[in-house]
């Protein structure tokens, strides 16, 4: 196939012009929608586009997001939506938080990326901040651009420190889709098509079943299988806001210490206040050995993740080879500036307290709707603003998501439960916006119920 570089030059120049526009006409907007659908189908992922039917079929024109502020975003035609998805946990601070944008813009005008050879100060500042706000004796951090990279690093750190290869993880757990992280993931849909994954032993146990974890650790010790770490989400996110029994985390922490196994907390989605505590494990006052955080760490502005641990566990990351875990772009100046600002806003505004209060307001109202429509719901789960609405079948969940989108509310399914729709709005969502979501949800439920009769 002959490539036309002149065509690529002209196309990129045209889109640079579009990016610089503050507004577009209705005709231009519709042309961009059509072009975007074509580009996704022909050059990105046709299946992805077709899967998003609750969006692409919910109006006369497919929704192409264009701008946003707080808990509201607008599509390219200017239609407003209340965001109850929050970028799958990315938008804790909402869309385009002004303090984060201002900080990143200032750093952008100075330098966007480091040399990789000299000392870039913001990487050190962010590592120190994380040492100040993470549980227990966590002191060191390594930075990357995504949640799955943080899990890859956490697995590697655990193996380096313990010299062991085995891991214990949860059914329906979600930790990312790169090869190591995918090996830990607890759903066949994503694992089986890939074939052979991580070569070491990986044992899946039911989430929330402390006895199963204890039993697996005991069996491995008896038969001589060395376990490096247990890896769990404090509250399962992609499974639909699944909260474990209160004895789960204390018993798991005690068991891992007894067998000399590390405990890795996947706080990629639960960290930074999402569940009503600054860290998900804070609900049980548990300290992990390794903590992974990403998503909202970048304030909804820049991609960044961090794997964090104690000085003792960090020794093999520093000696004899301090370059044993590196990434060229991870922890760049723009990403670190965004994270520094995001931490500042989270602490200043005590956003975890807002998440707790709004969850206590919203969850009982969702439970009341579930009780009113038992033919639609099987239940409501979650804590803070990480909430799962569980339905009798996936088709009903789709109808709820599509119905809400038609009424200007964005929600979405989860990646490990086909029967679940998440409610995961920015932590700064207002009570008036929450009430509007509830009203529109009840309207959708009434419509579905009437159609079924």
Full set of structural domains in the chain with CATH = 45-97+351-452 (3.90.1150.10), 99-348 (3.40.640.10)
Render pLDDT for 178-211 as a digit per residue (tens, 0 to 9): 999 999 999 888 898 888 888 889 999 999 999 9
Strand 80-83 to strand 72-75: parallel, antiparallel, or no bridges (unpaired)? antiparallel
Whole-angstrom Cα distance, residue 353 to residue 109? 34
Predicted TM-score of the model (pTM):
0.95
Find the DSSP H helices in 274-350.
311-318, 333-348
Render pLDDT for 282-293 as a digit per residue (tens, 0 to 9): 999 999 999 999
Query: Quick one: angle between helices 147-162 and 311-318, nearest 10?
Result: 90
pLDDT tens by residue, the chain, 453 residues: 678 899 999 999 999 999 999 889 999 999 998 999 899 889 998 887 777 655 655 665 667 899 999 999 999 999 999 999 999 999 999 999 999 999 999 999 999 998 989 999 999 999 999 999 999 999 999 999 999 999 999 999 999 999 999 999 999 999 999 999 999 999 888 898 888 888 889 999 999 999 999 999 999 999 999 999 999 999 999 999 999 999 999 999 999 999 999 999 999 999 999 999 999 999 999 999 999 999 999 999 999 999 999 999 999 999 999 999 999 999 999 999 999 999 999 999 999 999 999 999 999 999 999 999 999 999 999 999 999 999 999 889 989 998 999 999 999 888 767 689 999 999 999 999 999 999 999 999 999 999 887
Q: Is the dihedral of CA 136, 139, 143, 148 positive or negative?
A: negative
């Amino acid at each position: 196939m002959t490539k036309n570089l002149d065509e690529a030059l002209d196309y990129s120049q045209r889109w640079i012009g579009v990016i610089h526009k503050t507004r577009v006409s209705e005709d231009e907007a519709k042309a961009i929608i059509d072009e975007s659908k074509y580009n996704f189908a022909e050059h990105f992922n046709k299946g992805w586009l077709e899967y998003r039917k609750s969006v692409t079929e919910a109006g006369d024109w497919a929704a192409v997001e264009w701008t946003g502020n707080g808990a509201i975003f607008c599509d390219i035609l200017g239609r407003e939506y209340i965001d109850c998805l929050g970028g799958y946990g990315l938008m804790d601070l909402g869309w385009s938080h002004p303090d984060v944008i201002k900080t990143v813009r200032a750093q952008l005008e100075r330098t966007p990326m480091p040399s990789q050879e000299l000392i870039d100060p913001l990487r050190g500042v962010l590592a120190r901040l994380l040492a100040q706000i993470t549980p227990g004796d966590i002191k060191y951090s390594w930075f990357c651009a995504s949640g799955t990279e943080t899990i890859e690093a956490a697995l590697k750190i655990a193996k380096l420190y313990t010299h062991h290869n085995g891991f214990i993880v949860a059914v329906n757990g979600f930790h990312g889709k790169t090869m190591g992280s995918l090996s830990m993931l607890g759903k066949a849909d994503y694992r089986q098509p890939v074939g052979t994954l991580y070569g070491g032993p990986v044992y899946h146990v039911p989430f929330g079943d402390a006895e199963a974890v204890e039993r697996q650790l005991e069996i491995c010790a008896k038969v001589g299988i060395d376990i490096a770490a247990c890896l769990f989400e404090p509250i399962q996110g992609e499974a639909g806001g699944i909260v474990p029994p209160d004895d789960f985390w204390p018993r798991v922490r005690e068991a891992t210490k007894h067998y000399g196994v590390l405990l890795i907390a996947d706080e990629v989605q639960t960290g930074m206040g999402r569940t009503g505590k600054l860290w998900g494990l804070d609900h049980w006052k548990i300290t992990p050995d390794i903590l992974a955080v990403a998503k909202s760490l970048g304030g909804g502005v820049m991609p960044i993740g961090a794997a964090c641990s104690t000085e003792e566990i960090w020794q093999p990351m520093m000696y004899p080879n301090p370059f044993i875990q590196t990434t060229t772009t991870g922890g760049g100046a723009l990403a670190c500036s965004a994270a520094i600002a995001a931490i500042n806003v989270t602490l200043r505004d005590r956003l975890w307290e807002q998440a707790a209060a709004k969850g206590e307001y919203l969850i009982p109202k969702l439970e009341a709707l579930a009780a009113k429509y038992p033919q639609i719901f099987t239940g409501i789960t979650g804590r803070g603003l990480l909430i799962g609405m569980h339905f009798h079948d996936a088709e009903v969940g789709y109808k709820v998501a599509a119905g809400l989108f038609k009424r200007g509310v964005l929600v979405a399914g989860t990646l490990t439960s086909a029967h679940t729709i998440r409610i995961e709005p920015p932590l700064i969502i207002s009570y008036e916006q929450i009430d509007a979501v509830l009203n529109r949800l009840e309207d959708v439920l009434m419509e579905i119920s009437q159609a079924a009769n």
